[in-house]
Structure formats: structure tokens, C-alpha cells
Amino acid sequence: MDVISFSPLSRKAIETWIKFNGESGNLSQQDIARLFHSVGFFPSKSQVYEIWELTRQSHGPISLFCAPPASLTLHCLFNHGCGTTQELYITFFVYEIWELTRQSHGPFSLGFFYISLYRMKHVHDGHALRTPPLSKLDSRKQLMKRRSESVESCYDVFLGGSCNPTTWRTDTAIPKLQEFGISYYNPQVAQWVPELIQQENQAKGNAKVMFFVIDNQTRSVACMIEAAHVAGTQRKLVIVVNEPALAGSLVLGEPISEKEYQDLKQGREYLEDIMEVRNIRVFKDIHEALEETNRVVKEDTWPRGSKAEGISVPQETLAPECGKVQAAYNNIKSSENGKVQMKKAKLELRALTGKEIPQGYLDDIESKAQGPLMNGTGVDVDEVSINFNQFSILYGDMKQQNSKRGKLSKIFRCLLSWFRDLVFPKPRVPHGGSLPTDCCHVYLGGATRGRDWRKDIAIPELKKHGLRHSVPVSKQCNQRITPLEMRNIDNSTVLQWNQRFIPLEMRNIDNSMVLLFVITDEERCLSEMLVAAHYVGRGCRVILCIQNLKEGVVIDGEKLTDLAVKDYNRGRMYLSDLATNSGVPVYEDILEAVKAAAELCIK
């Protein structure tokens, strides 16, 4: 029986899926993005990556979750702490991912496509509660602090970004800004010294527009960290990001290895994901970016955002909704043909949506099922079998019926919510209250390779205080790899879970009371520093532990040159400085940093 639609959205989804030959199940990430775009939906690159990575069948994610839910849950409880609340959270998180990855309906099915469409529309229409990060400090205090520290602008534009030996400032930006009659501050000097940091900070604080160019003639470590921080501060930012130098090409006279190239590429993708979530457009052409800067300064307005005209909710994770529906379907499907009888589907969908299947839907299914009958007798709709795609269409269309509200209602609710939060800010966790089941006290971010500082230092210390914690999604996945599996898994596969800053990770961070980032002396930690800088900029409760790389350090089996060590340490210095200026504690000892995070939770 062909899949039946019950709404204009599901009808459009089915038609589009067929046009894209989606039933072949071999869609690439680019194909998936175009599939969404064709129906007016615009998921972020990290959303596409997340749903594609979690649903594709390969040696990567699926092998990581090949254990049954019970044993995997026990493993996570052992590593992440126990307690009734913690058990509920861990069990839910593990099961939703495990169910999603073990499905057998192909890499990306019509069912997953439609559930994703429904979820994006649901959030876009204002039916899902948007809450600030659990670690977010009082917005009024941050606003008052910003006002008290602000001074009248001295420069229109601060020219941030890649420095020596790049010449984009003198060759392109400065002549154009002079032509526009726009004042600027150029931080590029012949020889950079640490003492210049404070001077640059003053210029940044006074500029109307922050203009950044992330070039590929240098590693651009420090300037990417700066840009990620600025993106979190709600300042006017115009940014150009070029692709990193390819492996084997020279940067400052030194060849870039394949492994370092992957780290630099990951850093740029993280930066683009951060910008997309903050609705900041990433330019590829400096001339176009300068024209936009001229418009922003002359019209005293904000830069045009990255969101398309259609439906876009870049920070929303789509994977859990897909996992929930998949788990429900797997719970009742036949072991013989993998399908579900409508009798069972009715009960399961009622549990998922809180409503009975509309009679009109049942009539359509019954009518469609009459076609294949050979004897002309009637058919009992309860005996009709449906596949996962039809089950997903039913789910999405039933959920849409539950949440049909007008645009005026949405606008009114948004205004009311904004006014309430501004005048009567209410923390997500009342003073002295317990955390929600899906939240944790401390997010253990930072280095994920090298020594296991989480298991050896952080987790035991947090357990002493009865505090719950969460770790990066990639760390949770990679902990499941056995030595035998490791022989068959390429290193790039192991790291694929954190190749982009996925919404699932953002949710992980947002649901934590304190954010601890440990930047060790064993890794480059470029992407980790970008995330840390961004949440410092957003005014969250952050604790940093920063260790400088030592001369001659070996990372991924490669000895770093003196120049490389200097570049990555400069990034650490910038992160430490911007954190200190924001009142964020910075430590060098991991245990001290963990104790500080615990103390912040207990206060």
C-alpha cells in the first residue's frame, strides 16, 4: 500500500521525496539539504549533518551503539553517576540515540524526513518552549554591566581577523572603507606582542561594527576564537570565512599535515555553525562583506542575518523526535515483515500524541487498502499493516492538529514571554530546587582525546558532592568502542560525531548549570576553544582550565613545530584574556577547576 498523506505538508513531503528518488535511501548530505529546501525548509548544515550521521548505516555510529540498551545504560550510569533522576536522564538519552541508529529503514527515510519537517514547523510556529541556557546569568545584570562599561564609539569598524602575513586589510578593506568615509581600527602590526591585547580590547569595545576575515594564509586560531566570542555578545558582526589551507600546502612556510588540516577544517565548520545559530551571515567574498558593512554603518542598522525566507530553526535538534517515533514503531512492529497493524498503531500513536487517530484518516487508509483485495470483500482497518513511513506521516499530521494556532497568537505569546523574562526573570532551576530530569550540574567540555581527565579527575570529584554531569556527545559515543572494534574503525570515523557543532551538543550544553572547559596541553583544542569562547560571550557560568602546549609536544603522532605551538598558545592566551575580562575564572590545574565548578553549583 502506498503511503497516504493527511495534510498539505505531508502531501508535499511525499511528492518531493518521490521526485528526489528518496526511496533509494542513498541521499548524501547535500541531497538532504536540497530536499528540505525544495519544500521551503532550511535546516542548518549542522542539523543536516546530525540527522544524516545518526541515521546512516556505517561502521561508525551504529557499531558504537551495537550493545543492547540495558548494558549501554549501565555503562553510562557507571561513568556518569547514579540516582533516580540521573537514571531517568541517562536511560532516555541513551535509548533515543540507540533506537535511532539501529533502525533498518535505510540511511534517510521518508519517515525521518517528515518528522523533521513537522518538528521544524512546530518550533518555527512558536509551539515549543524556547528556554535560555541553564548556565545563563541574569540578562538584566549583563545588560547593566554592558551599559556601565560602554563609551561613545571612536571607530566605526574594528578590522579583526587574520593578521601577518595577510594583506587583505591594506589591499582591500582599508581603501574601500576610506572610499566609504568610514573610520576603522587596524590591529595588524609588524610584530605582535602580548601587551597589545589590552589595547586591542579597548578598540574592540568602542567599535560600532566588528569586521572579521578568517583567511587561509595563517592558522587563524586566535581570530577564530575572537569571532566566536563576539558572536555571543550580541554585537554587530560581519565575517568572512575562507576554506583552510589544504593538507600539504604551506602556512607561514610550513606544510600542513592531513591531521592538522582536519582540525583546522573542523574549527571553521564549528565557527560557521556558531554563526548560523546566532543568525550571523558568513560571507565568502570580502567585497560583498564590505558593502554590507557600509550599509550597516550608514543606516545604523544590523547586518542581514543568515536565515532564509522559509522555515529555519538552526539550534533545534531533530534527532530525538525521530528517535522517539522510531522507538515506538520498533516496539510494536512484526518480526516477520517489519510492519505494524493499525490496531497496534492506534494505541501507540495515542500514547505519542495524546489523541485518537481522526476517523477521516482511518477511512482513507481503509479505502486505500481495498484496492489490492482479490475477493471484493470489505477490509477491517485494524488488520491493515503499515510501514514506518506511514506511521511517521500519521504521527506528524496528528501532532500538527494538536498545535494549530494563528500567527497573531504566536506573536502575542512571543511578546508576552519576552516582557515576562525582562521584567520578571525566572531561573530554570529555583534556588535550592532540584534539577529537571534532562539537566545536569556540570558540562565537562574541552579536550576529548589524550588522557581521560573526566574519568580520572572530574567525575570522582563531582560525585563527592552528589552532582550530575554531562559529557560531549562524541565522548559518550567513543567510550563504547572496544579494542576489537577499534581495529576496524578509521580514526576519522571515531571523530565524526564532533565534526560539526551539532544541535544535540548544543542541547547538552544548554541543559547544564555550569560549563567547564578543559583545554589540555595534549591537544590543539581549536574547536573546543571556539565553543568555550562563545559561551563566555553569551554570559554563561563558565569555568576554564587552560594549559599551554609545551615545546616539542607530539599530537596525533606528529611533533608540532615551534611556530605551530606559538599559534595554538596564542589562541589559549586570547581565550584566557577574554575570559578574565568577562569575570570568568581561569585555572591551569584540572582538579582546581573542577572544584570551582562544583562550588559554583552548590552556592
Q: Is the pTM of this model over 0.95?
A: no
Asked whether the predicted pLDDT for residue 530 surpasses 60, the reply is yes
What is the pLDDT at residue 496?
A: 57
In the predicted model, what is the mean pLDDT of residues 357-362?
93
Taking the alpha carbons at both ends of the chain, their separation in whole angstroms is 60
Q: Could you read off the pLDDT of 185-226 as tens digits, one per residue?
A: 998 877 767 777 677 777 888 899 999 999 999 999 999 999
CB 239 within 8 A of CB 275: yes
What is the pLDDT at residue 474?
A: 74
Burial of 146 (0-12, 13-18, 19+ CB in 10 A): middle
Helix (H, G, I), strand (E, B) or coil at 153: coil
What is the pLDDT at residue 403?
A: 60
What is the pLDDT at residue 19?
A: 84
Q: Could you read off the pLDDT of 25-72 as tens digits, one per residue?
A: 567 788 888 999 999 999 988 988 888 877 764 333 333 333 444 444
Q: Could you read off the pLDDT of 98-115 as tens digits, one per residue?
A: 444 444 444 678 999 999
Q: Could you read off the pLDDT of 457-503 as tens digits, one per residue?
A: 999 999 999 999 999 987 665 544 343 333 333 433 434 567 899 99
What is the pLDDT at residue 316?
A: 85
CB 47 within 8 A of CB 500: no
Peptide bond into 165 cis (omega under 30): yes
- How many CB atoms neighbour CB 591 within 10 A? 15
Q: Could you read off the pLDDT of 327-336 as tens digits, one per residue?
A: 899 999 988 8
Q: 287 pLDDT band (50/70/90 cuts)?
A: very high
Which residues make Cβ contacts (< 8 Å) with residue 260, sequence separation at least 6? 247, 524, 558, 564
Domains and CATH numbers, the chain: 8-130+331-407 (no CATH), 141-299 (3.40.50.450), 440-602 (3.40.50)
Asked whether the predicted pLDDT for residue 422 surpasses 80, the reply is no
- Tell me which of 143 and 550 has the higher pLDDT: 550
Percent of the chain with pLDDT over 90: 52
